[in-house]
Amino acid sequence: MTDHSSIEYSTINGFFLQSESSTNTAEFDYTNSNFGLIERNYETDEQCPLNSTSWQRFAYYLDDLNRKSPSTVHYRVFFLARHGQGDHNVGEEKYGTAAWDDCWSKLDSADGLSFFDAHLTDLGIQQAKIANKTWMHQLTVEKTPSPEIFYTSPLYRCLQTAETTFKDPELPLQHAFVPRVKELLREQNGIHTCDARSPASTLRAAFPAARFDPDFAETDPLWRSDVRETDAEMVPRLRQALDGIWRGDARSCAWVSVTAHNGAVRAMLRVFGHRAWDLATGGVVVVFVRGEEVGEGSEVVG
């Protein structure tokens, strides 16, 4: 591939409840729905061992798709998670959205709440522990494939959420939990101090297992106190982040975990051509994605 090629993404419907228009987003609970996997037959079922779970049959089908696809096409499953509740979420609920946007969100702290690069509350930690428990069930009972690679926003609450969810010696992950921190996976930038990130040295000290890109700056290069990024501006930023993931460390992976923010997930879903989906704090949406390199220089040697 060359810099002149681009990736065309599309969501493959008919596999997860989250992508179906009939699913009520407000009522859906990922913790008791087998991550949303639809019970169905696959053309590869006869090749699967007897008593395979729904996830094992789907995983075999996905592997078969990738084996048979041209080198420019890949199929991947993204587990997109939102961080647990943070102090800033409490602040917005406490003061109301209008007052939050106009005043309180611009402060570093207030009334015992710390907004700058907000950390998880006790409830937020509990929500991440629920995600951990859900993954334990999925991996051990439903035989859901383990994520092969883990990405996270650089904001503190996302690193906390990812660690609480996956950094557990009892969790039978097939691939080591090494969170890869990506600057572009962050929430809507600007004005709100909760969306400004801590210095790199602070994050490295707090999360020594995390892997940072070589060019990850010590000070926040994106947040501004006087300009708020728009929803429309987020989409190309998240596309750039996803392109980097798709072509980067995840290029040989079919199962990808991303821990980010509601706004960031909404933008990623738009890039994937997925229906709109709002995540509650601690929520997860699973997306079956096809990506194809198109344009000049898109031919890849397999």
Output Rg (C-alpha) for the chain, integer angstroms.
Answer: 19
Measured CA to CA, the distance from residue 100 to residue 87 in angstroms comes to 12
Contacts of 273 (CB under 8 A, 6+ apart): 9, 10, 11
Asked whether the beta carbons of 168 and 129 are under 8 A apart, the reply is no
Q: Looking at 138-199, list the stretches that DSSP marks H as alpha helix, in order from N- to C-terminal side.
A: 156-166
Helix, strand and coil in the chain, % to nearest 5: 40, 15, 45
Contacts of 225 (CB under 8 A, 6+ apart): 106, 190, 191
Active site positions, annotated: 83, 187
